[in-house]
Amino acid sequence: MSLSLSDQLLRTLAAVPVSSPVLDLGCGAGDHTGALLRLGFPVHACDPRPEAVEDTQAVVRDLVDEETAETCVQQLSLQGLDELEATFDWVIADRTEALVDSPADLATLLNKSQSLLAPGGWVYLTVPATTDAPGKAPHDDTVTRFAPADLDTDALNIALVESQSPSRVEENGEARVHALYRHVKRPTPE
């Protein structure tokens, strides 16, 4: 059985109890959803694209029953996340291109993720990285790209706490920025 989780995500989840509920935000073709279910995690998945929801439901249907596939995978936009009535220990927002078109969308995604997290919950995030190599032509695609500094909590004005500083990584021949955030109560100034 092959799992389709990124190496970085696998290392991050290695010590997480499999009883921890996970939201796969922007589930795409269902690779992460299927892998997380195979590992034993209770998973809910959503994506704004109908074809992605159908693909993920097909993956889930192969692992559980039809009814579970229909209820645990939903078509939701970034704004539609308010419809979710569950709380999660983890939000996996890997490959967020379907949800994030701007830095403002990224801040919205992280703020909505925080509202879905249990206290102490985590957000694992990856976004496309900017091209910062000298002499390398910039990407001519329409995907919004980010530098590690763009994912700083102060730059985004979000209440999550960085657990791991955003960093640029090469993964599967692609430049991504990875970040790990935690939902904690910040001390109130006296």
- Which has the closest alpha carbon to 26: 109, 89, 86? 109
Place of tokens 């308010």: 82
Exposure string for 111-140, b = 16+ CB within 10 A, e = fewer = ebbbebbeeebbbbbbbbbbeeeeeeeeee
The partner residues of 182 in beta bridges, in order of sequence, read: 122, 161
pLDDT over threshold 50, residue 12: yes
Task: Locate the domains of the chain by residue range.
Answer: 18-182
Q: Model's pTM, two decimal places?
A: 0.89
Q: What digits encode the pLDDT tens for the residues 125-181?
A: 999 999 755 444 455 467 889 999 999 998 889 999 999 889 998 887 889 999 999
- Which has the closest alpha carbon to 156: 126, 111, 94? 111
Q: What digits encode the pLDDT tens for the residues 57-99?
A: 999 999 998 898 899 999 999 999 999 989 999 999 998 888 9
3-state secondary structure of 156: helix
CB–CB of 167/148 below 8 Å? yes
Tokens of 152: 């700083």
Instruction: Name the architecture of domain 18-182.
Output: 3-Layer(aba) Sandwich (3.40)
